[in-house]
């Protein structure tokens, strides 16, 4: 599903260049949950954003569903993301004025879905949010917020789920629940790339990759 080859990315600051990624090669196949672990600043988030078609690499290639998203025009790349990718972030990034159900439905702004409301309601039920579907994010616990973000990421049944520190703000139980849901998605044939500090991810990952200073070390 995701094939990354010899990826390099550097950030240029005032008189200083930081090599965030250096010759990174990685592959995530359907049914796999790949956990990328490493210290802060090792390039995990950069890897995730490039894999998600949000940040153009300096060199190397990204193939998602056999398509290089950076070969597409910006609007086409946005449509491509809507069709193939789901995102989960540490800060949830829920729209603060939308209810749980509307947040789950947010991807339909980019890509309408015929049975969107029914699917959103099913996802809310699946993630234990049925009682909370009319609540706004401020009225939810952090675990509920992350489950809402997860449900939103899965609305369009993406091929690849990208998760950036999905358990970073969660307590142990909520963290386990979220990792469980990611593993469940992978077990159902999806591909998951998780970048995380959380050592519990090893228990749920089919493969763990370690990064240091922009390179994959193991």
Check the CA dihedral 121-196-93-52 and report its sign. negative
Show the site string, 30-69: x = touches another protein by CB under 8 A, - = not: ---------------xx--x--x-xx--------------
| Residue 210 contacts residue 217 (beta carbons within 8 Å) | yes
Least spacing, CB of residue 26 vs another protein, in Å:
18
The runs of H, that is alpha helices, within 115-171 are 116-126, 142-154
Cβ contacts of residue 171 below 8 Å, gap of 6+? 142, 143
**CA distances for 182 relative to 67, 110, 148, 201, angstroms:** 24, 23, 13, 10
Least spacing, CB of residue 41 vs another protein, in Å:
11
Residue 82 interacts with another protein (CB under 8 A): yes or no? yes
Least spacing, CB of residue 109 vs another protein, in Å:
5
Residue 164 interacts with another protein (CB under 8 A): yes or no? yes
User: Which listed residue (97, 128, 139, 172) binds another protein by CB under 8 A?
Assistant: 97
Residue 213 interacts with another protein (CB under 8 A): yes or no? no
- Of 116, 170, 181, 113, which is closest to residue 143 (Cα–Cα)? 170
**Interface residue list for another protein (CB under 8 A):** 45-46, 49, 52, 54-55, 74-75, 78-83, 87, 89-91, 93-98, 102, 105-111, 116, 152, 164-165
């Amino acid at each position: 599903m995701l094939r990354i080859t010899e990826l390099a990315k550097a950030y240029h600051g005032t008189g200083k260049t930081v090599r965030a990624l250096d010759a990174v090669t990685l592959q995530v196949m359907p049914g796999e949950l790949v956990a990328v672990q490493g210290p802060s600043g090792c390039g995990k988030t950069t890897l995730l954003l490039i894999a998600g078609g949000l940040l153009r690499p300096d060199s190397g290639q990204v193939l998602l569903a056999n398509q290089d998203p950076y070969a597409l025009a910006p609007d086409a790349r946005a449509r491509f993301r809507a069709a193939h990718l789901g995102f989960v972030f540490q800060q949830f990034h829920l729209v603060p004025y939308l209810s749980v159900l509307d947040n789950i439905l947010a991807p339909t702004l980019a890509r309408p879905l015929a049975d969107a409301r029914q699917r959103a309601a099913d996802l809310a039920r699946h993630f234990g949010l049925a009682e909370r579907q009319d609540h706004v994010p401020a009225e939810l616990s952090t675990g509920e917020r992350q489950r809402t973000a997860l449900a939103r990421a899965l609305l369009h049944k993406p091929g690849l789920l990208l998760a950036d520190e999905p358990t970073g703000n969660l307590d142990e139980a909520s963290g386990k629940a979220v990792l469980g849901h990611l593993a469940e998605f992978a077990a159902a044939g999806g591909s998951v790339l998780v970048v995380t500090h959380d050592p519990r991810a090893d228990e749920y990952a089919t493969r763990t990759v370690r990064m240091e200073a922009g390179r994959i070390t193991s």
